[in-house]
Structure formats: structure tokens, C-alpha cells
């Protein structure tokens, strides 16, 4: 609204001033409120084929400013209407690189103290002066602002001698020439042909890469187009080996990706370039490489720790059994198994990230573990683990009918087992987020596909490296017992954690697909048991294999049809399988379902907010909730803190939760964030593995009353 009245007043002044144009002679300088404006015309004579630069000189009182060609969030640039002799023409007004002029939450672009706006002039070859004197005149309009804005206008004019040909010794106003030249040196220059400017769209705006041939330590970007870049947003700078890279925030009103990013880039030495960046590939800065390396390092550590998370325990049992079985094999074969297992993990991670990036490119807002939000995927993985449990329990031998085509049965089964065990490790690991892993995955998914694949490759290698090290250090394997009859008992015992995982996945499936769809999944289990019985009753027979495959296919089809027809009876609340009022250790804690509106409302009311980003399929989330958040002493501290408690249940796909996770730099659960009461303050993200001390220390860090700080003491115990 303020900008509307400023522009309206500016236009009124323009209209009123037009009627006075005919008054002559006009002065060369006018003192207006808070600004003095002058017309500078250096040559003393005007003659044919002459080119010169005039100037409009603004001198402002301290604190007042006039505007650049793009005024920013408010204001208007100066304009001039020229009154010139026949045969003399004026080019467009030129604007030196501006200053950033903050005004509360807004940002303007303009000039304080003084500025000269050069104007190129051209005298035609057929210039024939009708009089001995030529008048160079301009009707000038401007807006000068500080806390308030005042429109101004002035008629300016200078008289110069008019000649029919160039004089032997042209005269020049040296002072005017020098003053114009001082500001001409600050005009943006075209980017040299050897340099380049490209940009890519980012999650919040654009990344601008300008190659100048040398390493630049800083830069400022001034957009030439309105409603493309958020003027007041910070512009983080990353030095490049041959230029500079800026991160720009897009304007909230922009629609789609612009074909060009037009603006002025000002460097620390004062040099300014007009750039017209096109979409293209960016160069990686030194700090960008450090960011990628840091994310990859955290991903590698997170992958190693992922082996210790509850989600991956069943696979560790399987690999432990495989190590015992292979402890007497040759070193080369052990290493081959290790690399085949690693390959299975790598291929699976690459497939997951490829699907995730493809779906995101299609407009889907998805994060790490997204496949566990699909009831069909849950049904398939649950049936796979159930079938694996049957073979480990001894109902049949996997591969005696299904993988017997060609070559040695033992070799095919061995390497295939290592590869698909790697695949299984990834499948059961995706609901989990290990320490160091959350930030790394969030960083990867917020950057380019190449960065995403690099970080996820590091994560995959971290998951695979413990077994790979054992394959390369057979001396460690010799510490294991020698193979014997006890191995069959151990193999059957391994089926116990597998079936426990199946029970957990059945519960998750019910949370996602509903109780009605559960009947189809249980019927599919029955069919899988029948297929296992067929394979165990007639081992190695082709007919038994065909029947088993047909029964398995029927089980998969039955489960899929049931999900499609009976699925959707999901719980009404979104609180990770509990009601809004949850019971833990005999104490009631009020967790409200998360929404962005409720988060903003609580913070606007002066409340800090604790948000638990969770999901039913996230076993680490459930462990943290049961062992930490549901502890009586932690719940008491949560109540004493005065923080609003929100639970963001990501069991089913929820774009609001996905956006909130992305804003925290995360793409998966568990994630725990404490939002201070001040809406401008950044949230604090807690580690993925909670302890009572971590939660209490985070609550103690909130700015609050001394009474609250005294109440929030660290609990005794671990």
C-alpha cells in the first residue's frame, strides 16, 4: 500500500510538471527538498557527427536516497524527458551499480549521498543549426526517500554554441567531464566473452555461478527483473577457483523457472558486470566440495552404525550364519562373497535413490523410507521375510527347485545368497535413520542427482564395510566355531528374529492399510506356507518348483487385490498408533497431531514447540518413544517446559511433514526438533538416538523464565 501511494504521488508530480516545460530559460541546477539536481553537458560546442555523454547529477542530504533502475521492494527510478535541437538524440539513462538499502523487512536498491546518471548523446551527420545557440534541456522526475518519500521534478537546461562543422579546438567543461567519468567507471560492463554465467534451480531459489577467470572472495547480485529474486534475502557466497557462486532466494510470486537470470554482479573491488545467466551446469566450489565430502563422511559413518540399528539385526543374524558356513573356504572366495554382498547393497541403494529422485522430479514430495508408506510394498517385504523365515526354520531348502538351472548349485546359491542378502539389508534398513545419517541424507536429497548418488554410495559402503573387512581378514573368522551339526540349530534359531520382524511389519501394515486388508495378508501367509510345504515335501523336483511359484504368485496377487479393494481403513488420528492423549509409564502426555498451522500458532502465542517426527514403520522411532519420551521423568520435564508437544506421524504420506523435514535439512525419521518461541529463531535438531539427558539439555537451552530453567534439571540415571 505504501508503494502504491509513492508511485501515485510520483505520477501526479510528473503530470503537473509537464505543463511547465515550455517555460524558459531553465536553470542548470535546482535545489529541491533533500536533493540538489544538476544537468552536466561537458562540450562547449554542438556540431555534426559528435558523440558525447551528458549527466544528471543528484546530491542528497545525509540519509536520503534516490533509486536504481530496479528500485527493489519500493520506490521508482528517476526519469527524464529531453528537449533537444533537431538532429540531436539522447540514449537511455545509464545507472551505476547501486547500494542495498534495507527498510525494515524490505530491501531497496539505490544511491545515497550522490550519483551521476550518464546519458549518451549523438549529433547527426546532417546537423544544421538554425540558430547560433543550442539548448540541451530535460524535464526530470525523481523520488527521494528516507523514512518518507517525496516526489520531485525540475526543468533543467544548458545553452551550448551550435556549429555547422567541428571546430579546430573544441572546448570542454573539464569539471563536468571529470564528474561524469567518475560515475561512468562504475557502470556495469558486459561480461567478457571468455567468462560465463549459469544458474540452476535449488529448493529455495537459484544457485548462480559466474566465472570471471580468477577466484572471487565476495559478490553482490542486483536483479534487473522484479518478482524473480527475493530482494531482502541473504546471498551466501562461495568462492570458486575461477569465479564466484551465489545462493539466491526466489521471490514468493515467481511462477516457474525463468529462462534467464538478469542482473548486475558487483565484486569487492567495485567492478560490476551485467549478466544474463542461462540454465546450465555449475562448477563446484571449494566449500561445495568440502560440503559434499562432509556429507559423504557422515553418510559412511551412518552406514556403519546402521548395522547396529534394530532394523538390521535380522540381516546380521543371516550374515553371521554365512560367515560360520564359509569360515573354511579359500581367502579369494571369501573376498568374492564380500564384494558380491557389497554389490547387492550398492545396487539397492542406487535403485532407491533413482526412484526417489525420479518421483521428486515428477512433483512428488518424498523422503527416506518413502516406500514403507506404500501398503503394497509393505505386504511384499513382509511376505518375503515370512518366506525366508520358513526356509531358515527348516521347512524347505531355498534354491533346490527355484535356482537350480545351470552350473553348480552350491556356487549359484552362495553368490546369489550374498547378493540378495545385501539387497535385503537395504530393504530392512530404509525405515531407520542412524546417527550422522539424517543430516547427510537431507543434504544429498537437497542437491543435484550427482551429489545424491555420491552420498548414498558412501552410505552403502558404510553399511557393507564391516562384512567386507571380515572377508579380507580371515584371521578374525577363525575365532568363530568350526562348522558342525550345531549350525543347523543356529540356522533354525535365526528364524526367530526374522519372524519377530514379520510381526512388527504386520502391525505397520495394519497401520498403513487398515484392519480389513490384514485378512488378505494373513491369507497370503497361508499360501506361502503351502508353497514351502510343497518345496520341502518334493525337494529338487521341477514340478514342485512350478507349483510353488504358482502358489507364491497367487499369494502376491491376493495381497495386492486385498490392499486395493479393502485397504484404506486407516486410523483416524495421526499420532504414531496412539491417541492424542498417550499413556506412558502411567503418565498422560498430550501430543497433538502436527500441522504447520498449529506450529505457527503455538510460536505466535509465545510457546516453544517440541516436534517428534515419527512413523509406525520406523523401529528406531518406536524405541526412542518407548524408552525415552515415555519415561515418567522426561514427560514431567516436557510438561514443566511449557512447550507445545506435536507428533508428526509420517506413517502415511503427508506433504506437510515432508516439507517440514526438508526445512530442517532432513529427509527421514526419526527427527526431533525444538522450535523456540521466537518465530525468527532457528529450530534445534536433536540427535537420532535420544537419551534423557539429550532431551532435557535441549529443553534447558530454550530461552525462558528463570523459574523454568530452575525446574528443568537433568534427571538422574542414564
The CATH number assigned to the domain holding 246 equals: 2.60.40
Query: Residue 453 — very low, low, confident or very high, per pLDDT cuts 50/70/90?
Result: confident
447 in the same domain as 418: yes
Least confident residue range of 303-307, 485-489, 572-576: 572-576
Which of 564 and 183 is assigned the larger pLDDT?
183
503 in the same domain as 556: yes
Cell of 48: 555534426
Q: Which residues pair with 584 in a beta bridge?
A: 587
Q: What's the pLDDT at 193?
A: 83
Q: What's the pLDDT at 456?
A: 81
497 in the same domain as 466: yes
Q: How many CA atoms lie within 13 A of 343 on its CB side?
A: 11
Least confident residue range of 86-95, 294-303, 610-619, 644-653: 294-303
| Percentage of the chain lying above the pLDDT 90 cut | 27
- The whole-angstrom distance between residue 306's C-alpha and the CA centroid of its chain comes to 24
Q: What angle do CA 425, 427, 432 make, to 5 degrees?
A: 90
Helix axis angle, 692-700 to 632-641, nearest 10° = 10
Which of 566, 596, 623 is at the close of a domain? Answer: 566
**What length does the chain have?**
718
Nearest to 420 by CA among 396, 406, 402: 402
262 in the same domain as 113: no
251 in the same domain as 371: no
135 in the same domain as 27: yes
**Predicted confidence (pLDDT) per residue in 484-537, tens digit:** 565 567 667 767 777 887 887 888 888 777 777 888 888 888 888 898 888 888
301 in the same domain as 406: yes
Q: Is residue 573 part of a domain?
A: no
Q: Is residue 717 part of a domain?
A: no
Structural domain that includes position 527: 288-566
Which of 236 and 12 is assigned the larger pLDDT?
236
| Residue 227, C-beta contacts closer than 8 angstroms, at least 6 positions apart | 251, 253, 254
Q: What's the pLDDT at 2?
A: 45
| Residue 527, C-beta contacts closer than 8 angstroms, at least 6 positions apart | 551, 552, 554, 555, 558
Least confident residue range of 107-116, 217-226, 293-302, 394-403: 394-403
322 in the same domain as 249: no
Which of 66 and 488 is assigned the larger pLDDT?
66
Q: Is residue 576 part of a domain?
A: no
**Predicted confidence (pLDDT) per residue in 661-683, tens digit:** 877 877 778 889 999 888 777 78
Region 104-126 average pLDDT:
94
* pLDDT averaged over every residue in the chain: 78
Taken in order 598, 603, 605, 611, the sign of the CA dihedral is: positive
| Residue 320, C-beta contacts closer than 8 angstroms, at least 6 positions apart | none
With beta carbons less than 8 A apart as the criterion, state whether 683 and 675 touch. yes
With beta carbons less than 8 A apart as the criterion, state whether 43 and 171 touch. yes
**pLDDT(319) > 50:** yes
Region 630-658 average pLDDT:
86
Among 149-163, 426-440, 661-675, the range of highest mean pLDDT: 149-163
Q: Which residues pair with 610 in a beta bridge?
A: 645, 674
Residue with cell 521471490: 251
Nearest to 540 by CA among 717, 405, 677, 342: 405
| CA dist list (Å): 624 to 371, 433, 629, 686 | 22, 12, 6, 12
Q: What's the pLDDT at 477?
A: 55
| CA dist list (Å): 16 to 10, 32, 149, 155, 549 | 10, 16, 18, 12, 89
Which of 25 and 138 is assigned the larger pLDDT?
138
Which of 227, 253, 283 is at the close of a domain? Answer: 283
Q: Is residue 546 part of a domain?
A: yes
**pLDDT(718) > 50:** no
168 in the same domain as 48: yes
Helix boundaries (H) for 190-330: 286-306, 313-326
Q: Is residue 575 part of a domain?
A: no
Q: Is residue 571 part of a domain?
A: no
Query: Residue 605 — very low, low, confident or very high, per pLDDT cuts 50/70/90?
Result: confident
**pLDDT(54) > 80:** yes
What is the CATH number for 666? 3.40.30.10
Which of 684 and 400 is assigned the larger pLDDT?
684
**pLDDT(704) > 60:** no
What is the CATH number for 108? 2.60.40.1250
532 in the same domain as 418: yes
Region 406-434 average pLDDT:
59
With beta carbons less than 8 A apart as the criterion, state whether 198 and 278 touch. yes
Region 462-491 average pLDDT:
67
Kindly provide the residue ranges of all beta strands, DSSP E only, lying in 113-228, ordered along the sequence: 114-123, 133-145, 149-162, 189-190, 196-201, 205-211, 220-223
Query: Residue 399 — very low, low, confident or very high, per pLDDT cuts 50/70/90?
Result: very low
**pLDDT(610) > 90:** yes
- The whole-angstrom distance between residue 19's C-alpha and the CA centroid of its chain comes to 55
**pLDDT(129) > 80:** yes
With beta carbons less than 8 A apart as the criterion, state whether 641 and 699 touch. yes
**pLDDT(90) > 90:** yes
Q: What's the pLDDT at 630?
A: 87
Q: Is residue 718 part of a domain?
A: no
Helix axis angle, 596-604 to 655-663, nearest 10° = 50
194 in the same domain as 183: no
Q: What's the pLDDT at 483?
A: 52
Which of 130, 153, 187 is at the close of a domain? Answer: 187
Q: What's the pLDDT at 441?
A: 62
Q: What's the pLDDT at 28?
A: 93
Give the total number of structural domains in the chain: 4
443 in the same domain as 324: yes
With beta carbons less than 8 A apart as the criterion, state whether 418 and 344 touch. yes
Among 17-26, 34-43, 100-109, 276-285, the range of highest mean pLDDT: 34-43
**Predicted confidence (pLDDT) per residue in 175-204, tens digit:** 999 999 999 999 999 988 888 899 988 878
Q: Which residues pair with 115 in a beta bridge?
A: 58
Least confident residue range of 70-79, 245-254, 266-275: 245-254
Helix axis angle, 449-472 to 331-361, nearest 10° = 160
Region 224-241 average pLDDT:
89
Q: Is residue 556 part of a domain?
A: yes
| Residue 574, C-beta contacts closer than 8 angstroms, at least 6 positions apart | 593, 594, 647, 649, 651, 652, 654
Region 690-694 average pLDDT:
88
With beta carbons less than 8 A apart as the criterion, state whether 213 and 256 touch. no
| Percentage of the chain lying above the pLDDT 70 cut | 75
With beta carbons less than 8 A apart as the criterion, state whether 348 and 422 touch. yes
Amino acid at each position: 500500500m505504501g508503494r502504491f501511494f509513492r508511485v501515485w504521488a510520483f505520477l501526479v508530480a510528473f503530470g503537473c510538471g509537464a505543463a511547465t516545460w515550455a517555460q524558459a530559460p531553465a536553470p542548470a541546477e535546482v535545489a529541491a527538498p533533500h536533493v540538489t539536481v544538476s544537468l552536466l553537458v561537458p562540450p562547449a560546442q554542438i556540431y555534426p557527427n559528435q558523440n558525447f555523454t551528458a549527466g544528471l547529477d543528484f546530491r542528497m542530504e545525509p540519509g536520503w536516497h534516490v533509486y536504481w533502475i530496479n528500485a527493489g521492494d519500493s520506490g521508482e527510478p528517476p526519469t527524464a524527458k529531453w528537449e533537444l535541437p533537431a538532429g540531436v538524440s539522447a540514449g537511455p539513462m545509464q545507472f551505476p551499480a547501486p547500494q542495498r538499502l534495507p527498510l525494515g523487512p524490505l530491501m531497496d536498491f539505490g544511491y545515497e549521498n550522490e550519483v551521476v546518471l550518464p546519458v549518451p548523446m549523438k549529433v547527426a551527420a546532417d546537423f544544421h543549426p538554425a540558430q547560433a545557440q543550442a539548448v540541451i534541456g530535460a524535464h526530470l522526475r525523481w523520488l527521494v526517500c528516507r523514512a518518507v518519500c517525496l516526489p520531485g521534478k525540475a526543468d533543467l537546461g544548458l545553452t551550448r554554441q551550435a556549429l555547422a562543422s567541428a571546430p579546430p579546438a573544441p572546448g570542454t567543461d573539464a569539471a563536468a567531464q571529470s564528474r561524469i567519468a567518475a560515475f561512468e567507471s562504475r557502470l556495469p560492463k558486459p561480461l567478457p566473452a571468455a567468462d560465463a554465467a549459469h544458474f540452476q534451480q535449488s529448493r529455495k531459489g537459484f544457485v548462480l555461478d559466474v566465472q570471471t577467470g580468477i577466484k572471487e572472495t565476495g559478490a553482490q547480485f542486483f536483479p534487473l527483473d522484479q518478482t524473480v529474486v527475493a530482494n531482502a534475502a541473504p546471498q551466501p557466497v562461495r568462492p570458486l577457483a575461477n569465479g564466484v557462486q551465489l545462493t539466491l532466494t526466489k521471490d514468493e510470486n515467481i511462477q516457474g523457472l525463468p529462462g534467464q537470470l538478469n542482473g548486475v554482479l558487483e565484486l569487492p573491488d567495485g567492478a560490476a558486470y551485467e549478466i544474463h545467466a542461462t540454465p546450465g551446469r555449475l562448477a563446484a566450489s571449494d566449500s561445495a566440495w568440502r560440503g559434499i565430502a562432509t556429507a559423504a563422511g557422515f553418510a559412511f559413518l551412518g552406514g556403519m552404525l546402521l548395522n547396529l540399528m534394530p532394523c538390521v539385526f535380522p540381516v546380521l543374524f543371516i550374515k553371521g550364519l554365512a560367515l560360520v558356513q564359509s569360515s573354511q573356504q579359500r581367502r579369494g572366495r571369501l573376498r568374492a562373497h564380500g564384494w558380491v554382498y557389497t554389490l547387492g547393497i550398492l545396487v539397492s541403494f542406487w535403485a532407491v535413490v533413482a526412484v526417489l529422485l525420479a518421483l521428486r522430479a515428477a512433483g512428488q514430495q518424498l523422503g527416506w523410507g518413502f516406500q514403507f508408506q506404500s501398503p503394497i510394498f509393505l505386504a511384499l517385504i513382509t511376505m518375503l521375510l515370512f518366506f525366508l523365515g520358513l526356509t531358515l526354520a527348516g521347512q524347505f531348502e531355498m534354491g533346490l527347485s527355484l535356482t537350480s538351472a545351470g552350473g553348480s548349485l552350491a556356487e549359484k546359491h552362495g553368490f546369489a545368497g550374498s547378493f540378495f542378502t545385501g539387497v535385503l539389508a537395504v530393504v530392512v534398513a530404509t525405515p531407520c535413520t542412524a546417527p550422522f545419517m539424517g543430516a547427510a541424507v537431507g543434504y544429498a536429497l537437497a542437491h543435484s542427482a550427482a551429489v545424491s548418488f555420491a552420498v548414498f554410495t558412501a552410505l552403502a559402503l558404510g553399511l557393507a564395510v564391516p562384512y567386507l573387512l571380515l572377508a579380507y581378514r580371515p584371521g578374525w573368522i577363525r575365532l568363530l566355531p568350526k562348522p558342525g551339526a550345531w549350525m543347523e540349530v543356529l540356522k533354525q534359531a535365526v528364524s526367530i528374529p526374522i519372524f519377530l520382524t514379520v510381526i512388527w511389519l504386520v502391525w505397520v501394515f495394519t497401520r498403513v492399510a487398515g484392519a480389513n486388508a490384514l485378512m488378505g495378508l494373513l491369507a497370503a501367509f497361508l499360501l506361502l506356507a503351502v508353497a514351502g510345504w510343497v518345496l520341502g515335501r518334493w525337494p529338487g523336483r521341477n514340478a514342485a518348483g512350478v507349483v510353488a511359484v504358482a502358489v507364491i504368485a497367487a499369494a502376491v496377487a491376493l495381497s495386492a487385490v486385498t490392499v486395493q479393494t479393502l485397504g484404506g481403513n486407516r486410523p483416524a488420528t495421526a499420532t504414531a498408533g496412539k491417541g492424542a492423549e498417550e499413556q506412558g509409564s502411567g503418565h498422560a502426555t498430550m501430543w497433538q497431531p502436527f500441522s504447520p498451522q498449529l506450529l505457527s500458532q503455538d510460536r505466535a502465542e509465545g510457546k516453544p514447540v517440541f516436534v517428534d517426527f515419527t512413523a509406525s514403520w520406523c523401529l528406531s522411532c518406536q524405541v526412542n518413544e518407548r524408552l525415552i519420551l515415555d519415561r515418567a521423568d522426561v514427560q514431567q520435564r516436557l510438561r514443566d517446559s511449557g512447550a507445545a508437544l506435536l507428533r508428526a506421524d509420517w506413517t502415511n504420506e503427508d506433504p506437510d511433514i515432508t516439507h517440514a523435514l526438508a526445512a530442517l535439512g532432513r529427509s527421514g525419521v526419526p527427527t526431533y526438533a525444538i522450535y523456540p518461541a521466537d518465530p525468527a529463531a532457528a529450530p534445534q535438531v536433536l540427535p537420532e538416538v535420544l537419551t534423557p539427558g539429550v532431551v532435557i539439555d535441549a529443553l534447558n537451552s530454550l530461552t525462558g523464565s528463570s523459574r523454568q530453567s530452575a525446574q528443568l534439571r537433568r534427571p538422574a540415571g542414564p
